[in-house]
C-alpha cells in the first residue's frame, strides 16, 4: 500500500469510541468487570476459567500495584468497529438463532464456545452473557493497541482470541481481537506500518494467521504444541518463524527456544509494534495445552519478551489468551508484578544486562493430553 493510499484509508476510518484519550494518571492496563462470564453455573461446563480476568485484577490490587482509578476501563467494540475486520455475514451468524416453536437455538455460539447447553438458552441471554463480554475484551485489545504505541507498553487483562479470523470463530474465540487491534493501528496511528505477532499460547494462532496470510506488513512468530488443536496447515503458511513443540516440553528447552526465536524475529524485521499473545495454557497440568512449563517458567518467558521489546524501544501490547487452570490468574498477576519489579513496565527501565536465562528446575514430562479445541 502506498503512503497516499494509506493516508486516504486513514481519512475514511469510521468514528470509534475505542481510541479515546486516556488520562496520564492511568496505567496502560485495560480491563472491565464485563470481561467475566458467569451465569447459572454453565461456564463451569467448560475447562476455561471464565472469571480469571477479574481474579488477575484482584491479585494486582491485593499487592497494591493498582487501584481502580489506575485502570483503563475497556469499552465494548461496536458492530462498526468489528466490521473493520469481520464480514457482515459472520457477524450475522453470531446473531442468528434457529426458531423451533417458541424456542431459540444459539447454534453458532454454542459451537464456538464449546458449551453445548448454550444451545438451549434464549438467544438474548447468550448475546448478553457470552458475546457482550467477548466484545468488551475485544474493545479492550483495540484500546490497548493505541495505549501501547502512546506509552510504550500496554496490557489487556483479557483478549487474545487467536483462533478467530474475519469470517470464522472457534476454540472459545468469537472475535478476531488481535487482527482488529493491528488493523486499527495501521489505519489510525501515524508511523505504525509494520507489526510483529509473537504468539506463545500453547495452540497455533490460526485466526490471525489466516487474516494476515498475504499481508507483508505483519510478521508472525508462533510457538505451539504441534499435536493439538487446531492443526491448521493452510494458516501455517502465514508463520514467518514457526516453532513446533512436542508433548511435555519443559522449562529449559522452552525458554531457550523462546529467547532464541524472539531475538531472531525482532532482528529479522524491526516492527513498529509487537502484539504478544501470552497464553498460560503452557502450564504443567493444563488439560488442553500438553506442555509442562512451571509458573516460574511462564514469568521468565514474559520477562524475556518484554525485555526484548524494551531493549529495542518497540511498543508492546500483551493479551492474556488461553489458560484453563484455576491457578493461572495468580501466575498472570505474578508475571505482571515481576515485569514491574524489573522496570519493564510502569516506570523507567532498570539497567539491562541483556538476555539471560535463569536455570530452572526441569519438570516431569507429561505422557498424554486431551486435545480439545480451545484458545
Residue 250 falls within a domain, yes or no? yes
Residue 108 falls within a domain, yes or no? yes
At residue 126, the pLDDT reads 78
Residue 373 falls within a domain, yes or no? no
276 contacts 200 by C-beta, under 8 angstroms: yes
46 counts as catalytic: no
Residue 279 falls within a domain, yes or no? yes
- Comparing 229 with 101, which gets the higher pLDDT? 229
At residue 41, the pLDDT reads 56
pLDDT tops 80 at residue 156: yes
At residue 39, the pLDDT reads 61
Question: Angle formed by the axes of helices 177-188 and 3-11, to 10°?
Answer: 110
Residue 359 falls within a domain, yes or no? no
State residue 73 phi and psi, 5-degree precision: -75, 120
> Euclidean distance between the first and final Cα of the chain, in Å?
32
- Give the CATH number, domain containing residue 179: 3.40.800.20
Q: Residue 60's CB: how many other CB atoms inside 10 A?
A: 24
pLDDT tens-digit map of 319-336: 999 997 889 999 999 999
pLDDT tops 70 at residue 11: no
pLDDT tops 50 at residue 361: no
- Residue 109 pLDDT grade (very low, low, confident, very high; cuts 50, 70, 90): confident
141 contacts 177 by C-beta, under 8 angstroms: yes
pLDDT tens-digit map of 19-49: 999 999 999 999 999 999 876 555 455 455 6
Residue 17 falls within a domain, yes or no? no
- Comparing 184 with 38, which gets the higher pLDDT? 184
- Residue 203 pLDDT grade (very low, low, confident, very high; cuts 50, 70, 90): very high
Residue 61 falls within a domain, yes or no? yes
Full residue range of the structural domain in which residue 210 is found: 29-38+45-342
pLDDT tops 70 at residue 135: yes
**Could you give the strand order of the β-sheet that contains 153-156, starting from the edge strand earlier in sequence?**
72-73, 29-31, 153-156, 316-319, 273-277, 195-199, 218-225, 241-245
Residue 9 falls within a domain, yes or no? no
pLDDT tens-digit map of 75-92: 999 999 999 999 999 998
At residue 115, the pLDDT reads 67
Percent of the chain with pLDDT over 70: 81
Give the count of domains, the chain.
1
Q: State the residue for C-alpha cell 495468580.
A: 330
> Which entry of 162, 163, 203, 208 is annotated as an active-site residue?
163
- Comparing 115 with 198, which gets the higher pLDDT? 198
At residue 102, the pLDDT reads 39
- Comparing 170 with 368, which gets the higher pLDDT? 170
Q: What is the chain's percent helix, strand, coil content, to nearest 5?
A: 40, 15, 45
Q: Residue 252's CB: how many other CB atoms inside 10 A?
A: 15
> For the chain, where are the alpha helices, taking DSSP H only?
3-11, 52-62, 79-82, 88-95, 107-113, 123-126, 132-151, 177-188, 206-211, 233-236, 251-268, 295-312, 328-341
Amino acid at each position: 500500500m502506498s503512503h497516499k493510499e494509506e493516508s486516504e484509508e486513514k481519512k475514511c476510518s469510521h468514528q470509534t469510541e475505542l481510541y479515546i484519550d486516556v488520562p496520564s494518571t492511568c496505567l496502560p492496563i485495560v480491563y472491565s468487570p464485563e470481561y467475566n462470564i458467569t451465569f447459572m453455573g454453565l461456564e463451569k461446563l467448560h475447562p476455561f476459567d471464565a472469571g480469571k480476568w477479574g481474579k488477575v485484577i484482584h491479585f494486582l490490587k491485593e499487592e497494591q500495584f493498582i487501584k481502580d482509578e489506575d485502570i483503563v476501563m475497556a469499552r465494548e467494540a461496536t458492530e462498526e468497529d468489528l466490521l473493520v475486520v469481520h464480514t457482515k455475514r459472520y457477524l450475522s451468524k453470531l446473531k442468528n438463532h434457529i426458531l423451533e416453536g417458541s424456542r431459540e437455538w444459539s447454534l453458532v455460539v454454542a459451537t464456538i464456545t464449546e458449551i453445548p447447553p448454550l444451545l438451549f438458552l434464549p438467544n438474548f441471554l447468550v448475546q448478553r452473557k457470552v458475546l457482550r463480554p467477548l466484545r468488551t475484551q475485544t474493545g479492550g485489545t483495540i484500546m490497548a493497541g493505541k495505549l501501547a504505541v502512546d506509552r510504550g507498553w500496554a496490557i489487556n487483562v483479557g483478549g487474545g482470541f487467536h483462533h478467530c479470523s474475519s469470517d470464522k470463530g472457534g476454540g472459545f474465540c468469537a472475535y478476531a481481537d488481535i487482527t482488529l487491534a493491528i488493523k486499527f493501528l495501521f489505519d489510525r496511528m501515524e508511523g505504525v506500518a509494520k507489526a510483529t505477532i509473537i504468539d506463545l499460547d500453547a495452540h497455533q494462532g490460526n485466526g490471525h494467521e489466516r487474516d494476515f496470510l498475504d499481508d507483508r506488513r505483519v510478521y508472525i512468530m508462533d510457538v505451539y504444541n504441534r499435536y493439538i488443536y487446531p492443526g491448521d496447515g493452510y494458516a501455517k503458511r502465514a508463520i514467518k518463524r514457526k516453532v513446533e513443540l512436542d508433548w511435555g516440553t519443559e522449562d529449559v528447552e522452552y525458554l531457550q527456544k523462546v529467547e532464541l526465536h524472539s531475538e531472531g524475529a525482532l532482528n529479522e524485521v524491526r516492527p513498529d509494534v509487537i502484539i504478544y499473545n501470552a497464553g498460560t495454557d503452557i502450564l504443567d497440568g493444563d488439560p488442553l495445552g500438553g506442555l509442562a512449563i512451571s509458573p516460574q517458567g511462564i514469568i521468565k518467558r514474559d520477562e524475556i519478551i518484554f525485555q526484548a521489546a524494551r531493549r529495542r524501544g518497540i511498543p508492546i501490547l500483551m493479551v492474556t489468551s488461553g489458560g484453563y487452570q484455576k491457578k493461572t490468574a495468580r501466575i498472570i498477576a505474578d508475571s505482571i508484578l515481576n515485569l514491574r519489579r524489573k522496570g519493564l513496565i510502569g516506570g523507567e527501565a532498570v539497567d539491562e544486562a541483556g538476555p539471560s536465562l535463569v536455570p530452572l528446575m526441569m519438570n516431569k514430562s507429561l505422557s498424554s493430553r486431551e486435545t480439545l479445541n480451545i484458545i
